[in-house]
Amino acid sequence: MRIAIGAPGNGQILKDEIRRFLHDDDRVEAVIDLSEPEITYPAVSILAAEKISAGEVDRAVLICGTGVGTAIAANKVRGVRAATAHDLVTVRGAVENYDAQILCMGQNVIAAPYARTLIDLWLDLRHDPTGTYGPKLDEIAAFEASD
């Protein structure tokens, strides 16, 4: 799995922890760090979402202060779904139900050890398009296409 990761200044510490965790994980083929000095949360979020949309990466992890701003910005890219999640149930639902390709977290909200636990689960999760949420995602995609 190819994973992009990124954060503005208010997310760098947790982002670096998660980047190291992903780099050391055998399930991860490549980790692409999109962070740059002075990058804003909208810029890094849109960049990650565009990489997913273009097929350059499979998933992304975005870190900001709360995880909310990165999710809002990433969700502006057509066909990309980003979810903020700080617990096991939400991480599972984000992928299995909603096929979210981007996991957003807040450095001010979650401790690094628990974030690593969530990322560990996230790496194994998959969406089943034939499940009960498949038609709902189709409904969202149809609306998006009509825009």
Is there a catalytic annotation at residue 64? Answer: yes
β partners of residue 83? 103
Residue 128 burial (CB count, 10 A): 11
Task: Please name the amino acid found at residue 102.
Answer: I
Six token digits for residue 13: 């510490």
Which residues are CB-neighbours of 61 under 8 A, at least 6 positions away?
A: 3, 4, 5, 6, 15, 18, 22, 102, 103, 104, 105, 119
Q: Is the dihedral of CA 130, 131, 133, 136 positive or negative?
A: positive
Closest CA to 5 of 88, 127, 121, 21: 21
Given 22, 52, 61, 64, which residue is catalytic?
64
Catalytic residues: 64
